[in-house]
Amino acid sequence: MAPIPLQAGWLYGPVDSRRYGRSLGINPLPVDRKLCSLDCLYCQYGFTKAQQVAGRAEVPSASDLASAIEAKFAALVAADDPPDRITVAGNGEPTLHPEFEKFSADLAKARDQYFPNAQLGILCNGMHLDRPGVLSALNKIYDEPAMKLEWGNAACFAAMNQVGENGFEKILTGLQQIDSFVVQALFMQSPLADNSSDAEVASWVEVLRSLKSRIRHVEIYSLDRPPADAAQATAVPRVRLDAIADCARAIGLSVEVFTR
């Protein structure tokens, strides 16, 4: 099976999420290509490098996003279809948006007006916490920043994400500055990297231990949609995910395993 198509719009759903209930997705990124700083073996949208095409990627402005959000929220109210959660994600890494902080503030204002009971979350790879406004937005605006953290060393990070090893320490440095976050950890097996092995899980648990005071909860899962390359990324069975979860629980963390 091929990876799924990119999101064709700036808002999508609400859809039923295995983690978040009735979730409305926000895509502050281009609709014609993936825009991400990682190239994960398991990405449901395919490889990043394969989508590098000529021309500048068209990123919607914060004002255009605000108008689209206002219209969509009003339509959902009229349809009596309130989301449980509003999740910023989309076609890549959302913190790459050049007006990320303003976009986030506008989104929070609209949420407060239309759906005050909905949580505002984000799926983030942690690579850009040093960009102006990103860390401030995650700490002050989002109810639940879900941060990608599924490796315990630089070698595994580089192999799974097809980038340089220096990004691993960059992410850990950034996570030390987030007040509180949820860990999102996908476990997979591959000839290139297997973060579900005993040794890799032990390293991962030590990273969790170093960030324990900031971790609100840990979410563990495996592949649910077709990956970028099915020959290079396969799912981890539920029994193994449960064993990994027990390793994190052993250091006092709250953990939930998600499978279909």
Q: What is the mean pLDDT of residues 236-250?
A: 98
- Determine the residue type at 195: N
Residue 6 contacts by C-beta under 8 Å, 6 or more apart in sequence? Answer: 31, 32, 33, 34, 45, 91
Helix H or strand E segment including 15: strand 11-17
Q: Are 6 and 31 in contact (CB under 8 A)?
A: yes
CA 181 and chain centroid, separation: 12
Encoding tokens for residue 224? 């649910």
What are the b/e assignments for 210-236, b being 16+ CB within 10 Å? ebeeebeebbbbbbeebbbbeebbbbb
Q: Are 134 and 100 in contact (CB under 8 A)?
A: yes
Backbone angles phi, psi at 168, to 5 degrees: -60, -50
pLDDT tens digit string along 133-157?
Answer: 999 999 999 999 999 999 999 999 9
Encoding tokens for residue 172? 């850990």
Is residue 113's pLDDT more than 90?
A: yes
Q: Reduce the DSSP state of residue 260 to 3 states and report it.
A: coil
pTM of the model: 0.94
- Computed on alpha carbons and rounded to an integer, the radius of gyration of the chain in Å comes to 18
123 - beta bridge partners? 146
**Domain 11-258: which CATH class?**
alpha beta
Q: Are 69 and 25 in contact (CB under 8 A)?
A: no
Other Cβ atoms closer than 10 A to 163: 17
Task: Please state the length of the chain.
Answer: 260
- Determine the residue type at 164: G
Report the chain's mean pLDDT, rounded to a whole number. 94
Encoding tokens for residue 31? 């609709």
Is residue 2's pLDDT more than 60?
A: no
Encoding tokens for residue 58? 């068209």
Confidence of residue 52 (pLDDT cuts 50, 70, 90): low
- DSSP at 92: B
pLDDT of 3? 76
Lowest mean pLDDT across 14-23, 27-36, 156-165, 197-206 = 14-23
- Domain ranges, ordered by start, for the chain: 11-258
pLDDT of 187? 98
Residue 197 contacts by C-beta under 8 Å, 6 or more apart in sequence? Answer: none
Confidence of residue 56 (pLDDT cuts 50, 70, 90): low
pLDDT of 20? 85
- Determine the residue type at 120: L
